[in-house]
Amino acid sequence: MNMSTFARRRAAVLEKMRAQGGGVAIIPTAPEVMRNADADYPYRHDSYFYYLSGFPEPEATLVLIAGERDQSILFCREKNEEREIWDGYRYGPAGAKEQFGFDAAFSIGNIDSELPMLMANAPALFYALGSSARLDAQVQGWLNAVRAQVRAGVTAPSAAYDVRTILNEMRLVKDDEELAIMRRAADIAADAHARAMRCARPGLREYHLEAELLHEFRRNGSQFPAYGSIVATGANACVLHYRAGDAELRDGDLVLIDAGCELDSYASDITRTFPVSGRFSGPQKTLYEIVLAAQQAAIEATGPGRRFTDGHDAALAVLAQGMLDTGLLDRDKAGTLDDVIANGSYRQFYMHRTGHWLGMDVHDVGDYRDPAVSATEKPWRTLVPGMVLTIEPGIYVRPAPGVPEDFWNIGIRIEDDAVVTAGGCEIITRNAPKTVAEIEAVMRG
Which positions are annotated as active-site residues?
Answer: 38, 241, 258, 269, 352, 356, 363, 392, 396, 413, 415
DSSP single-letter state for residue 149: T
- Interactions with Mn ion, residue window 122-181 (CB under 5 A): none
Backbone phi, then psi, for 411, in 5-degree steps?
A: -125, 125
* 269 lines the binding site for ligand GLY (CB under 6 A): yes
124 binds, among Mn ion, ligand GLY, none (CB under 5 to 8 A by kind): none
- Interactions with ligand GLY, residue window 247-266 (CB under 6 A): 258
Q: Report strand pairing: 124-127 vs 23-28.
A: parallel
Count of residues in contact with ligand GLY, rule CB under 6 A = 7
Rounded Cα distance between 14 and 270, Å, is 36
At residue 8's C-alpha, the angle toward residues 6 and 10, to 5°, is 70
Which residue from 57, 164, 59, 47 is spatially nearest to 100, judged by alpha carbons? 57
Measured from each CB, the residue nearest to ligand GLY is 258
Rounded Cα distance between 268 and 181, Å, is 10
Which residue from 283, 301, 245 is spatially nearest to 395, judged by alpha carbons? 283
Rounded Cα distance between 392 and 269, Å, is 10
**Would you give the binding string for Mn ion spanning residues 375-414, x where CB under 5 A is met?**
---------------x------------------------
* 364 lines the binding site for ligand GLY (CB under 6 A): no
Neighbours of 68 (CB within 10 A): 8
- Cβ nearer to Mn ion, comparing 52 with 418: 418
- Smallest gap, in angstroms, from Cβ of residue 415 to ligand GLY? 6
DSSP single-letter state for residue 351: -
227 binds, among Mn ion, ligand GLY, none (CB under 5 to 8 A by kind): ligand GLY
- Smallest gap, in angstroms, from Cβ of residue 437 to ligand GLY? 25
- Cβ nearer to ligand GLY, comparing 17 with 270: 270
The percent of the chain in helix, strand and coil, each rounded to the nearest 5, is: 40, 20, 40
Neighbours of 359 (CB within 10 A): 23
Among 5, 169, 204, 227, binds ligand GLY (CB under 6 A): 227
- Cβ nearer to ligand GLY, comparing 171 with 413: 413
Rounded Cα distance between 368 and 169, Å, is 11
From 55-63, 142-150, 169-177, 261-269, give the range in contact with Mn ion by CB under 5 A.
261-269
* 416 lines the binding site for Mn ion (CB under 5 A): no
- Interactions with ligand GLY, residue window 388-427 (CB under 6 A): 392, 415
- Cβ nearer to Mn ion, comparing 57 with 191: 191
Helix (H) or strand (E) run with residue 50 in it: helix 47-53
Long-range pairs for 32-40 at CB < 8 Å and ≥24 separation? 32/58, 32/59
Rounded Cα distance between 206 and 200, Å, is 9
Rounded Cα distance between 394 and 408, Å, is 15
- Cβ nearer to Mn ion, comparing 208 with 356: 356
* 362 lines the binding site for ligand GLY (CB under 6 A): yes
- Cβ nearer to ligand GLY, comparing 206 with 258: 258
Among 57, 258, 262, 440, binds Mn ion (CB under 5 A): 258
Q: Interface with Mn ion by CB under 5 A: which residues? A: 258, 269, 390, 415
Q: Interface with ligand GLY by CB under 6 A: which residues? A: 227, 258, 269, 356, 362, 392, 415
